[in-house]
Structure 1
């Protein structure tokens, strides 16, 4: 059987295919393209895990990009261990018949503590003095040496934050071509995040879209060409489409005002106190997991959330099964935004008491996803960043806090099911044998296994 290369073009939809995507359109003409039904929440780690396992979050356990770890009493987002996935992935299933199967995981999530043959993933250096520097993890170690020698350092600060831009996606694509040549895998996965940036900043349509599509397509072309050198079947998927939004929903502020959410205060400001809270929300784009202390807290929180403007529906207890989110890691309540809205994690009621990380790019300390990290604060954000860089160069400790608090800057989000098939995920394949009118994310894993073992 030919090798298989699975390319994740984040944010790509059927509606995007056209004159601005010549490489992807050519692949579709050689094979086919079809809309794909996604999962809820329509976010990176949940979608990727459903693609690779063929299961809903109720079985694989990745209920969002992060959740409340009850045993620790802490909220953690963007963990990297494959052991968090509670269902077998496609390569694990294929190896039951073909144990020698070689797998390359390139920037897909859960890329550490994993059983793949080779893996590459962003891994910043956090120095003891508070500084952060670009770096990446690779296994085997020689692969990291090879990639760095050929492609230089991974441009971490173009991967996420106010300066996130095409250089990170270009580096990923170029490095994939090298890793693919070195590892010669039977199954390779490559993640291209470029559309995730400007489409959240400026919305899913507008003058920025054509250039973004052309840049993504160029990166996809690099990966496709690398795949074709070994005669691989090429499959392009996406996790979600991005929809226009114009308002934020402050679910945690409502819970705090009702006396359900507790905070603790220290020199850094107000901090969420999950263990002392009767109810609090972990916000992830357009979905929120609400963790409740007991049945009485659940009932009270559900009633409050249902009345918040911008909340479409509240799923409590067994109702979560309707979304495939009845899992122990889920909140006792799952809240879904209305179209045009997204959940902000903010829990403080006075900006003077905000935590010191609120205006930083700090994906590990914030108890929820924050798309404002894609922006410089119009009120001095670039100046603050410049001063922080100067302090860094002089060897002083510094606070890099260029991010705004203004939620109105955010113009695109995701997490809800797509309103129309053409605005949701897509599947493109070079092999016409995969063709059908519409795909489900849950069908990708069994088809990959079939292609790998024959």
Structure 2
């Protein structure tokens, strides 16, 4: 039975393939590369949901990496249940059509409670004493201890934050080999996030990116060799390209100056009260969902956004998604798209002295928006390693402590993504050794993978 592995190399585009990616370049030159219009917004959760369902954003409902839950009156970011993604998934379709089909889904998002046969996803434990214990979640559950026994603990600090680096992608790659050796899935979906870190931190074209490109090229090249030696068809895929940015845009601060934001003071810090605010934005890279609890302000808010420096476009949420301009209930009433060189922060405070405590921490679930500044250590801290060491010692001794090492300087970020109107060099790519039908958009990834698996399985090639 011919089988397929999809290597989702985040941030991989035509513009970064070259001198520092010789093994990826050799794979591309031996086959066919198709670039295609990214999902909207061009972010991980939305793109992957389009890939695994073949639906537009209006169909699968994943309108960003996070959004405002109007019923709970809470912003929810980076949730993990696969039930969030609406529509039938690629492994369900192929399993129905091809008896004996199996699928491994490794670190692709929305991976908990998936109907895929084998899954691994990052999932810390949060004991009642306030600790955060790094771990993974697997299906079947017993696989969790087996894979950790063989590969060691997943290097969670390198998956996100100031220490984000190649070890997490190396571990994910080894887990893909581990699952392949034990189970031989028909389809393996493998997520390799490494390029995303450097491209956001340093920006595309920065000299620091040379080493980052070489690192992911080594990991990808090794996986290509491994799977092809086992007669598994390799697909290289990406989700978006990164644009160089130099202009953070603080929409919530603009709304606060208008008197539309409600702030709740907590222990000397300011907390955004979404449910009580008339207008607020949930920022996600270069796209921001703007929610209105007071619909009478719609035209005024729309006009303010259109006049704001750094905003290129404002779409009605009811018409923002899908080929036919459909909407989804999770979307904002308005959806702002930034200029190519700009991106949106979640910042709502006007004085850093009263910023919430989580603002200076790596805290992806508590922040009401995505925060790429979490990739940096605060340059104002004289001895960051000493501060981190002190924090770890306090935690080990059982004391409460705050790892507040993240700066509040959005100008540090040099790369971002999310726009769907980008040059071909910054579009996501789909690469196979064999020729394939070109893709028009993110939804087409689903049909291309299905066609490849079915043709291989049915002996049509």
TM bin (shorter chain): over 0.9
Matched, 1:19 2:19: yes
Residue 403 of structure 1: aligned partner: 406
Matched, 1:250 2:250: yes
Residue 209 of structure 2: aligned partner: 209
Q: Which runs of 4+ in 1 moved over 4 A?
A: 321-325
What is the CA deviation profile of residues 51-73 of structure 1, one whole-angstrom value per residue up to 9, with x for unaligned ones? 22222111110000011111211
Residue 42 of structure 2: aligned partner: 42
Residue 417 of structure 1: aligned partner: 420
Aligned mates of 2:81, 2:359 — CA distance in 1: 26
What is the CA deviation profile of residues 284-341 of structure 1, one whole-angstrom value per residue up to 9, with x for unaligned ones? 0000001111421222221222222111111125442478561110001000011111
Alignment of 1:279-298 (within 5 A): 279-298=279-298
Q: CA deviation at 1:431?
A: 2.1
Residue 101 of structure 1: aligned partner: 101
- Asked if structure 2 preserves the Cα contact closer than 8 Å seen for 1:32 and 1:435, the reply is no
Aligned partner of residue 48 in structure 1, secondary structure: helix
Aligned partner of residue 125 in structure 1, secondary structure: coil
Q: Unmatched 5+ residue regions in structure 1?
A: none
Aligned mates of 2:395, 2:339 — CA distance in 1: 43
Matched, 1:123 2:137: no
Residue 454 of structure 2: aligned partner: 453
Deviates more, 1:137-146 or 1:206-215: 137-146
Matched, 1:392 2:395: yes
Aligned mates of 2:2, 2:130 — CA distance in 1: 47
Aligned mates of 2:187, 2:298 — CA distance in 1: 44
- Asked if structure 1 preserves the Cα contact closer than 8 Å seen for 2:317 and 2:331, the reply is no
Aligned partner of residue 390 in structure 2, secondary structure: helix
Residue 157 of structure 2: aligned partner: 157
- Asked if structure 2 preserves the Cα contact closer than 8 Å seen for 1:54 and 1:445, the reply is yes
Change in Cα spacing, 1:390 to 1:270, as seen in structure 2 (3 Å) is same
Residue 362 of structure 1: aligned partner: 363
Aligned partner of residue 360 in structure 2, secondary structure: coil
Residue 167 of structure 2: aligned partner: 167
Q: Unmatched 5+ residue regions in structure 2?
A: 456-461
Residue 441 of structure 1: aligned partner: 442
Aligned partner of residue 361 in structure 1, secondary structure: coil
Aligned mates of 2:448, 2:316 — CA distance in 1: 34
Aligned partner of residue 291 in structure 2, secondary structure: strand
- Asked if structure 2 preserves the Cα contact closer than 8 Å seen for 1:91 and 1:449, the reply is no
Aligned mates of 1:213, 1:233 — CA distance in 2: 23
What is the CA deviation profile of residues 134-185 of structure 1, one whole-angstrom value per residue up to 9, with x for unaligned ones? 2111111332222111211001101100111111111111111111211211
Residue 380 of structure 2: aligned partner: 379
Aligned partner of residue 88 in structure 1, secondary structure: coil
Aligned mates of 1:123, 1:20 — CA distance in 2: 33
TM-score with structure 1 setting the length: 0.95
Aligned mates of 1:418, 1:22 — CA distance in 2: 29
Question: What is the CA RMSD across the aligned residues, in angstroms?
Answer: 1.7
What is the CA deviation profile of residues 209-266 of structure 1, one whole-angstrom value per residue up to 9, with x for unaligned ones? 2211111111112322332243111111111111111111000111111111212121
Aligned mates of 1:150, 1:430 — CA distance in 2: 32
Aligned mates of 1:51, 1:240 — CA distance in 2: 12
Aligned mates of 2:177, 2:96 — CA distance in 1: 28
- Asked if structure 2 preserves the Cα contact closer than 8 Å seen for 1:63 and 1:325, the reply is no
- Asked if structure 2 preserves the Cα contact closer than 8 Å seen for 1:384 and 1:401, the reply is no
Change in Cα spacing, 1:322 to 1:84, as seen in structure 2 (3 Å) is closer
Q: CA deviation at 1:424?
A: 1.8
Residue 459 of structure 2: aligned partner: none
Aligned mates of 2:225, 2:268 — CA distance in 1: 50
Deviates more, 1:422-431 or 1:275-284: 422-431
Q: CA deviation at 1:423?
A: 1.9
- Asked if structure 2 preserves the Cα contact closer than 8 Å seen for 1:34 and 1:439, the reply is no
TM-score with structure 2 setting the length: 0.94
- Asked if structure 1 preserves the Cα contact closer than 8 Å seen for 2:56 and 2:321, the reply is no
Alignment of 1:182-261 (within 5 A): 182-261=182-261
Deviates more, 1:99-108 or 1:337-346: 99-108
- Asked if structure 2 preserves the Cα contact closer than 8 Å seen for 1:227 and 1:234, the reply is yes
Aligned partner of residue 441 in structure 1, secondary structure: coil
Deviates more, 1:73-82 or 1:131-140: 131-140
Aligned mates of 1:384, 1:291 — CA distance in 2: 38
Aligned mates of 2:429, 2:197 — CA distance in 1: 19
